[in-house]
């Protein structure tokens, strides 16, 4: 590949687990900053706004700001504003992300009037039968289905936890529809992150713990994929994946070393 021009980095499972830094992650991020490598933190996290994510990471020692972060809720808000301006949106999500949904008209479960769009965020206690059945009713009446991601699970300090992708599949099957997905693995999401860094795909690394949504999805968009064996990484998922990562590392702590090796190779090829 050409000289590394930017690095896109997943957060949950790569930099942190339950917002606690993984070993060596803070130091590795600082080394990338010292090298002045353009960075964007790309996350399907739907429980926090960009400002809240940046605050949590900075408090843990990571040298990042809200401008470095691209979230699935922010991408979803931009999509809804462009495609469905003024639409009434029923939101199924765990966590307060109102700050990243500026301009979106969110209606509650108790609102009897038809919704134009059902928006599925991240799973949590809110994903009970009543909420899912209400969403199903709106879809039967013709509402569009939009999802912030398709993640089936994520890792916390209590282990793997079920995420909204499992519920999304049920809604799609029951309502006979297909969701428009705005977070990873959407190509539009990676394009938004590249635009933030000003880099082109061929010179950009994508570092993630989800082999399908993070790594292989990025490779299909022309980026170089880097899978880390932390977070939700599972050997059986790696073995049974639909493709092969460009690079596999033990953790994010190994990324600066990978950049150095790639630059040495590029220098020899040049």
Tens digit of pLDDT at every position of the chain (270 positions) = 567 889 999 999 999 999 999 999 999 999 999 999 999 999 998 989 999 999 999 999 999 999 999 999 988 998 999 999 999 999 999 988 988 998 999 999 999 899 999 999 999 999 999 999 999 999 999 999 999 999 898 888 888 899 999 999 999 999 999 999 999 999 989 998 998 899 999 999 999 999 999 999 999 999 999 999 999 999 999 999 999 999 999 999 999 999 999 988 876 655
pTM to 2 decimal places: 0.82
Choosing from 181, 215, 243, the residue where a domain stops is: 181
Total domains in the fold of the chain: 2
**Is 203 in the same domain as 257?**
yes
CATH (domain of 137): 3.40.50.1000
- Residues 145, 9: Cα–Cα separation, whole Å: 28
Q: Whole-angstrom Cα distance, residue 150 to residue 168?
A: 7
Q: What are phi and psi of 204, to 5 degrees?
A: -120, 135
Boundaries of domain holding 249: 6-44+187-267
What whole-number distance in Å separates Cα of residue 56 and Cα of residue 62?
A: 9
Note whether 132 and 168 are same-domain residues.
Answer: yes
The answer to whether position 1 is within a domain reads: no
CB-based contact 230:209 (threshold 8 Å): yes
| Calpha distance 226→258 (Å, rounded) | 10
Flag whether 238 is in a domain.
Answer: yes
SS3 12: strand
Rounded distance between C-alpha atoms, residue 99 and residue 110, angstroms: 22
What's the chain's Rg over C-alpha atoms? 19
Residue 13 lies in a domain: yes
Q: Which of 140, 156, 181 is the last residue of a domain?
A: 181
Domain contains 197:
yes
Q: Which residue, chain included where needed, has tokens 């599925």? A: 120
In a domain, 68, yes or no: no
Comparing CA positions, the residue from 71, 171, 189 lying closest to residue 117 is: 171
């Amino acid at each position: 590949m050409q000289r590394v021009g930017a690095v896109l980095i997943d957060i949950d499972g790569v930099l942190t687990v339950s917002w606690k830094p993984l070993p060596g992650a803070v130091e590795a991020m600082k080394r990338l900053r010292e090298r002045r490598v353009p960075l964007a933190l790309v996350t399907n996290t739907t429980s926090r706004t960009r400002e809240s994510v940046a605050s949590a990471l900075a408090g843990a020692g990571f040298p990042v700001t809200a401008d470095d972060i691209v979230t699935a809720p922010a991408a979803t808000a931009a999509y809804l504003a462009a495609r469905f301006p003024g639409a009434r949106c029923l939101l199924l999500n765990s966590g307060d992300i109102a700050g990243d949904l500026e301009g979106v008209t969110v209606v509650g479960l108790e609102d009897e009037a038809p919704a134009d769009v059902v928006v599925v965020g991240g799973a949590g206690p809110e994903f009970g039968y009543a909420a899912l059945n209400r969403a199903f009713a709106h879809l039967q009446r013709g509402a569009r289905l939009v999802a912030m991601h398709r993640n089936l699970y994520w890792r916390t300090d209590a282990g793997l936890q079920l995420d909204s992708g499992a519920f999304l599949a049920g809604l799609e099957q029951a309502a006979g529809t297909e969701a428009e997905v705005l977070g990873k693995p959407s190509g539009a999401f990676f394009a938004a992150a590249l635009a933030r860094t000003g880099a082109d795909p061929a010179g950009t690394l994508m570092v993630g713990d989800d082999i399908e949504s993070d790594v292989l999805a990025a490779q299909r968009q022309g980026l170089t994929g880097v899978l880390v064996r932390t977070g939700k990484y599972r050997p059986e998922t790696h073995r049974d994946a639909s493709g092969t990562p460009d690079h596999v590392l033990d953790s994010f702590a190994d990324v600066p070393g990978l950049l150095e090796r790639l630059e040495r190779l590029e220098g020899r090829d040049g």
